[in-house]
Amino acid sequence: MNLKEVKSKEIFPGLSGKFVHGDNITWVFWDVTKDSEVKEHQHIHEQIMHVVTGKFEFILNGTKKIYQDGDVVVIPSNIPHSGKAITNCKLMDVFSPVREEYR
């Protein structure tokens, strides 16, 4: 498979992703438009977010920080989090177990 062959899906306004699923993980390649927001939420999935390019404000369990090129955030299961793109961003997320709702 080549990532160019994977269709992008808009999950939230301004947040489009290409989703790759294994048996136990989901890997997402996001294109995020400046000022797009992900409202506070939590889920059973462990998540690791990587900021490939851009600046992304992220709030994890009440602590706000701006992440940029190369930064990685580990998000434990069931911890509230939210985010906002300060610039256009490219992000990668890995979720375990699989995010079935993204299939």
Give tens-digit pLDDT for 2-36: 999 999 999 999 999 999 999 999 999 999 999 99
Which of 53, 40, 4, 44 has the alpha carbon at shortest distance from 26? Answer: 44
Binning pLDDT at 50, 70 and 90, where does residue 103 land?
confident
Assess if residue 63 is contained within a domain.
Answer: yes
Assess if residue 3 is contained within a domain.
Answer: no
Assess if residue 1 is contained within a domain.
Answer: no
d(CA 96, CA 87): 27
Assess if residue 21 is contained within a domain.
Answer: yes
Domain carrying residue 53: 8-98
Q: How many domains does the chain have?
A: 1
Q: Which CATH number belongs to the domain containing residue 57 in this structure?
A: 2.60.120.10
d(CA 76, CA 78): 6
Give tens-digit pLDDT for 39-72: 999 999 999 999 999 999 999 999 999 999 999 9
Binning pLDDT at 50, 70 and 90, where does residue 89 land?
very high
* Model confidence, pTM: 0.94
Assess if residue 65 is contained within a domain.
Answer: yes
Assess if residue 87 is contained within a domain.
Answer: yes
Assess if residue 103 is contained within a domain.
Answer: no
| Cis check: omega of the bond before 97, within 30 degrees of 0 | yes
pLDDT value at residue 14: 97
